[in-house]
Chain A
């Protein structure tokens, strides 16, 4: 499913990376602990979090995640937005709380399964 479809269907606010919505995504990960995402995040994952500081961009970049979705209406900090635009990382905002957001993503077919073979570079 394309990021643009997800943005549409869930009514997400696009804060950065509006040019990168063509990406195909199929998997999601949720965590607010950087070390956790570094350990378990996989390439192209949608990352659901409420952390808004600069580090999220570094982690997303490092793990080549497809985008970051902030929930509870959290807005990314200014530095975070700038860095994300630089790195080409889309950041979206949802008004929903985490459980509901994940549930709706899941219903769209974005699963959390972790045992997929690593994608070729």
Chain B
């Protein structure tokens, strides 16, 4: 169920967010020679409970409302904050998960934490409880599609398996003329490829190409087989039938050319874009067909959407593999 999936995605999203994703954009910091008497006004004006003391990009300490009150009740003379600040600053690194930030808030009961850049120890911002909520809300507003892309970590199934060569083979049988079930293979393939952790763009191309080929099997091919091989570089799809065969392959590659009977057109198919769509989705497309014996369509789609090299599409009308 997609809704359940969305809830899991949200959970995953939360685990993936870093403190730098949620931190506040405008921060209030104090310089070391701010006077204690000024602290109250600054905290109050900005509606914050504490502020870090920062000099030359480094956090020297932190002053909170409590520190101010202690100073006040002790009746001490006005002095620079440097003298009264807490040196024991609890902070978070900018690349720590947001969940750690939540734990810290729970554990220490503070209202805010400074954020430090792990690379150079510089002050990188502040995070409050409110920022955490706002950060999550902002992330959730991202388009679902973008969420898919952003959570695509590039870490596929193949990274987890240790072998000299790994291939996943998925085989499907398609019944001819049963148009009710058209698209079932493409749908199953989609879910499987998502399980393998492949890039959403690659999955989309694969699913569209498979769907079109599957419908061809049903409408023209009297049924057949769809075999999908996924390795670390590409998806290889072979769609085979023992149907009437294609007399003129160049013609079927032309957009708009269709031999679809009327009943097919009335269902929204038969616009003659099938092979064009497949071509647009694949890096390499080969059609091998012999009239009276059948057709084999071979499709290759590279896993890396950046590196897709559109090879040429071709077809042989005479030979069959």
Interface residues of A (CB under 8 A from B): 32-35, 51-53, 77
- B256 & A52 in contact (Cβ 8 Å cutoff): yes
Closest to A52 in B: B256
Residues of A within 8 A of B268 (CB): 32-33
CA gap between A33 and B268 in the complex, in Å: 7
| Shortest beta-carbon distance from B255 to chain A in Å | 10
- A33 & B256 in contact (Cβ 8 Å cutoff): no
How many B residues, CB 8 Å from partner?
5
Q: B254-267 CB contact bits vs A (8 Å, 1 = yes)? A: 00100000000110
Query: What's the dominant secondary structure at chain A's contact region?
Result: loop
Closest 6 CB pairs of A and B: A35-B266, A33-B266, A52-B256, A53-B256, A33-B265, A77-B256
Closest to B267 in A: A33
11 contacts between A and B (CB under 8 A): A32-B268, A32-B271, A33-B265, A33-B266, A33-B268, A34-B265, A35-B266, A51-B271, A52-B256, A53-B256, A77-B256
Residues of B within 8 A of A53 (CB): 256
CA gap between A51 and B256 in the complex, in Å: 9
In the complex, chain B residues 213-272 whose Cβ is within 8 Å of any chain A Cβ: 256, 265-266, 268, 271
Residues of B within 8 A of A77 (CB): 256
CA gap between A52 and B256 in the complex, in Å: 8
Closest to A74 in B: B256
| Shortest beta-carbon distance from B266 to chain A in Å | 6
CA gap between A27 and B114 in the complex, in Å: 64
| Shortest beta-carbon distance from B263 to chain A in Å | 11
CA gap between A51 and B258 in the complex, in Å: 12
Residues of A within 8 A of B265 (CB): 33-34
Residues of B within 8 A of A33 (CB): 265-266, 268
Closest to A53 in B: B256
| Shortest beta-carbon distance from A74 to chain B in Å | 9
Residues of B within 8 A of A34 (CB): 265
Closest to A77 in B: B256
